[in-house]
Amino acid sequence: MAKDANQFIFREEYEKWLLDLGVKSVGAYCPQDKYTCNDGREFLFFDLIGVFAKENDRLYVNALFEEWKAFIENKNQNNLKTTLNRLSYLQKYRQFVETKIYGKKRLSKEDNARFNEILNNIDSVRKSIDKSQNPKVDGMDSLIEYISTKRFIKLAIESSYFFSPKLVVERFEEIKEYICQQKDVDPADVVDPAFKDKKVKYLPARYTSKEDSTDAADGVHECDQTLGKVYFKLSKESQRLCVIYQEGARGKNTKCGGKTCGGGNGNARVCQLIKDRTGYDLGTTTNKKHFRNFIISHIWGHAIDPRYFTNLWNIVIVPAWANHLLDKDEEGTLASAFKATIQKIITKLYQYNSYDWKSIEMDEPTCKEEEVLHGNYHINTIDSIADKETLGKISKVSIPV
């Protein structure tokens, strides 16, 4: 066992637990990372977490795991592999704490002495954590305790549903034709009661009166107060206006002259498109849905941009327990690695470099290559329906990344 210089409370028990799990290099799982309080005092994360766990103070245990996670990510921000390895060690200790330490009654003589020494200084740690963050409970903790970051990402991706390359190309070409004004209406073949005039030109997208310019990539929304309609103006073509339909229309936007053209921001039009092309119903009542506990995710975002909103290369049906990570804009984290990896898989699955991106006035979507978690992924793809009475075939496709 380790000498005092590298000792921490519960180390002997932790190493035995690791050996019982088949871990051979237990020393690698015992990094001597330290938490620094506001007053300059330093403590091993292992010691602080051990003490708070024995005291059944879960909020501060969770806060310290968050501090430790941030410490690892900042220290190794230029090396994703090292970061993921170190985070896997943290997750293993979290599992140990959860199953072995909370409310523990008996300590060894050596651990008891160390425990009392740290306990006498614990107020300094509490005050430091209270000032740096609000102690909290993360809903992902219970899952990450029992599954590594790598396995989490692989499981999330392989549990998701993508669309077949054929379906994606067909929808891309439809939007391309619309943008180039070769068609009068969006050919999604969805009858929209909001437009009694079937000849109106529109392409579905979300609309919000609180628009963030970055959400629309390189275009902006414009409201015509006279007509009560919303337009999407591409910055590269100052004279071109793409007419778009306000998703949901659950409210009224006064900028549109009092007519209903604002308020909703859901995925109703995306659900209609998916049902029309694949037969799968995602937007109906719970007992009729073909996918439950899944969420439609726009992988590159920009849902208020009509070139992104119903373009199937930007859409994946993701398990609800993983989807929220795709909404984060981070670097060097579980969320950023997940997003970069699923984006990389999409670019390979659909062979992005063969698309005529200039025709829809946008650049080819990219990912953060340094964040991609390499491996072989067996993903689900949904194909188009043969007729209105069938469902699109779901196939497994192997994508090496």
Q: What is the pLDDT of residue 164?
A: 96
Q: What is the pLDDT of residue 315?
A: 96
pLDDT at 100 over 50: yes
Q: What is the pLDDT of residue 151?
A: 86
Tens digit of each residue's pLDDT (9 = 90 or more) over 117-154: 888 888 889 888 888 765 555 666 666 666 777 888 99
* Range in 132-141, 152-161, 265-274 the model is least confident about: 132-141
What is the mean pLDDT of the segment spanning 283-312? Answer: 83
Q: Which two tokens stand for residue 180?
A: 């180039």
What is the mean pLDDT of the segment spanning 363-372? Answer: 91
> What span, in angstroms and rounded, lies between the C-alpha atoms of 233 and 120?
64
Q: What is the pLDDT of residue 198?
A: 45
**Residue 221: phi, psi to the nearest 5?**
-85, 145
Q: Which two tokens stand for residue 44?
A: 């091993």
**Residue 341: phi, psi to the nearest 5?**
-70, -45
To the nearest whole percent, how much of the chain has pLDDT over 70? 73
Q: What is the pLDDT of residue 313?
A: 96
* Range in 28-42, 160-174, 284-298 the model is least confident about: 284-298
**Residue 252: phi, psi to the nearest 5?**
-120, 140
pLDDT at 2 over 60: no
User: pLDDT-derived band of residue 47, with 50, 70 and 90 as boundaries?
Assistant: very high
Residue 329's contacts (CB-CB under 8 Å, 6 or more residues apart) are none
Tens digit of each residue's pLDDT (9 = 90 or more) over 17-31: 999 988 888 888 999
* Range in 6-20, 56-70, 273-287 the model is least confident about: 273-287
